[in-house]
A = this chain, B = another copy of it.
Amino acid sequence: MFSRIASYLKRKPLLVAPVVAVSAAAAIVPILSPASTSTAEPRQPAPRDQNQNNSELVDNVVFAIHGGAGTIRREDLTPELEESYRKALTRAVRTGYRAIEEGRGSTDAVEAAINTMEDSPLFNAGKGAVFTTDAQNELDASIMDGETLDAGAVTGVTHIKNPISLADDLMRNSRHVLLAGQGAELYAQHRGFDLVTQDYFFTQRRWESLRDAKNGESRFDFGETNTVGAVGLGPNGNLAAGTSTGGLTNKPVGRIGDSPIVGAGTYANNETAATSATGTGELFIRQAVTHDISALMDYRNLRVDRAANAAIDKTEEIGGEDTGGVIALDRDKNLAFVFNTEGMYRGYATEDGDIVVKIFADE
């Protein structure tokens, strides 16, 4: 990775050149001679995972969240860290449930619950986001309203404390659905959002993860992303879903995964389900996982958990094992947790206010 980092740093200033030279008369001005080395990372053909997914169907659910699926083993979590996660998951579920109970609507509930996880350093969203290969935090988020199919999403934002709230504002107040980087932050300024500096997102834990990745002490891990998401059903029968993430540790600058992509990381339709995904974003984009779950329910009349299992299986067909998971809530209050990894941070609240949180596959 070092040569790649070095060349990033070496070339970066040169990228500014054409902007300065916009008014130059030349037709085509080469900026760089071809790079002498390629950083291509060919995809590995992956065998189909024959194992069953971890799949749970719970009824009478009005709100649910996830905090990422991945290689989560008991031996990797200290009792203290495990307890911290369970408290944070419980807080997020309670926050969303209360919003539903107060009749604030499912999109508000999804935003409020995700805000608590964005503000917690435990999750890879907002505070505590992972670092790109250029040691920055680039955040993605999306939210969707199942009644209107309105959606809002932002990608590559670097100064937004709560990206899901910016996505929600875009959904409610703009004709546009997806804004990237500086443009998203210009919109945020127009809308009165306070922007934060990059150091706000810093955590020692994620910084060390970047160091480990660059020192080859961890594989380029698609497994444990700590992406966060939420799904809710409002008293009016409206479904909503949202997802927020910092992406992958050591990801290339500008890499976009499934989280900000409507139909890949997030989808909601009152006729089918509200779904948030977490895992290997590239596979989830190529299989349009969250829209596929909606389509399988709509066109094949599959039950929500069967649709979710089928969609996760498709990511295994192109990506092998441990691709990730989804949470999906249908309009009849049936919640599906489906993941093919060793664990998924997750929780839900029933109509009666019972709150359950889980981390490991065998819970």
**Which residues does A use to contact B, with CB under 8 Å?**
4, 7-8, 11-12, 15, 18-19, 21-32, 34-35, 37-43, 144, 148-151, 155-156, 158-159, 161, 173-187, 189-200, 220, 252-257, 261-264, 267, 281-282, 285-288, 291-292, 295-296, 299-300, 318
A190 partner, pick from B38, B180, B291, beta carbons under 8 A: B38
Closest 6 CB pairs of A and B: A183-B254, A34-B192, A40-B173, A183-B253, A299-B299, A263-B288
Task: Note all chain B residues with C-beta closer than 8 A to A318.
Answer: 148-149
Among A151, A159, A177, A198, find the residue whose CB has the most chain B CB atoms closer than 10 A: A177
CB distance from A27 to the nearest CB of B (A): 6
Q: Contacting A253 at CB < 8 Å: which of B186, B253, B287?
A: B186
Known contacts being A177-B286, A263-B288, is A252 close to B295, with CB within 8 Å? Answer: no
**Candidates B18, B31, B175, B254; contact of A41 at CB < 8 Å:** B175
On whether A186 and B40 interact (CB within 8 A), knowing A18-B196, A30-B195, A180-B180, the answer reads no
A173 lies within 8 A of B41 (CB): yes
A22, closest chain B residue (CB): B198
Q: Contacts of A187 on B, CB cut-off 8 Å?
A: 39, 252, 254
